[in-house]
Amino acid sequence: MEQQAITKEIKEYALDLGADLVGIADLERLKGITTVPANLLDGFTRAVVVAFQVSPTIFEQIESEPTPLYIHQYAAVNLVLDHINLMLQSKVLNLGYKALALPASQTVDRINWLGHISTKAVAKAAGLGWQGKSLLLINPKYGPRVRLSCLLTNAPLVPDQPIPNRCGNCTKCRDACPANAIHGASWDDRPNSREEAVDLERCVNRLSHIAEKQGREALICGVCIKVCPWGKVR
């Protein structure tokens, strides 16, 4: 099967499964990215990234802490993404290629607060948006109101082109951050380091405190998502 045909088949299958967005990343664009384990990308050349939207109404209900409704939908959307990703994995494997579905949300290094790979960075490489000043993926249609998952593969898929950063001089996420953790730095492609964009310790400390108070594990907030003008319901 030629490249265009298999790419079309995989994308259409992801959309049929319920994904709102799907993009293909050339892993060459992610050379040097931190992964857990370090050899995670060995033998893979592409990533299929899918996105599923979260209701904008949920974020409008947030004041300074995540609501029970957001906590529930956050977990529910992750399960949907994992299902889509596993179905895609089966599809690609049955086509005769390598495939590895990565969890939609899993922290595997709680010292440096890392997942297996930065799905936001992979989604950026897949043309689904750009990384905003909060480091969240910003999609032109949905803004940061999406959850993401990715599938690693060596299938000969046609990669999508990245979208230029469109945050401009906007500092709404920085100004609204309850932890004062977003520096408000700007970049055309991506920051030189995570630290250039955010004070992770401040962010994690606040999220950990809220999670403990609310009796849950997920470290989420939602304030910077709420205020982002991209994808905001008018």
Domain ranges for the chain, please list them. Answer: 1-157+166-227
Cβ atoms within 10 Å, residue 218? 15
Over residues 180-196, the pLDDT tens digits come to 999 999 888 888 888 89
Q: Does residue 112 surpass a pLDDT of 70?
A: yes
Q: Give the per-residue pLDDT at 218.
A: 83
Start-end of H helices in the chain: 3-16, 56-60, 68-94, 119-125, 172-176, 194-197, 200-214, 223-227
Q: Are 127 and 161 in contact (CB under 8 A)?
A: yes
- The candidate with the shortest Cα–Cα distance to 197, out of 181, 216, 213, is 181
Q: Give the per-residue pLDDT at 28.
A: 97
Q: Does residue 5 surpass a pLDDT of 70?
A: yes
Q: Give the per-residue pLDDT at 234.
A: 65
Q: Which two structure tokens, joined as six digits, stand for 49?
A: 């990234």
Collapsing DSSP to helix, strand or coil, 223 comes out as helix
Segment 112-128 mean pLDDT? 94
Over residues 11-35, the pLDDT tens digits come to 999 999 999 999 999 999 999 999 9
C-alpha–C-alpha distance, residues 114 and 11, integer Å: 28
Query: How does the average pLDDT of the chain come out, rounded?
Result: 94
Over residues 129-140, the pLDDT tens digits come to 999 999 999 999
Q: Give the per-residue pLDDT at 50.
A: 98
Taken in order 38, 40, 45, 46, the sign of the CA dihedral is negative
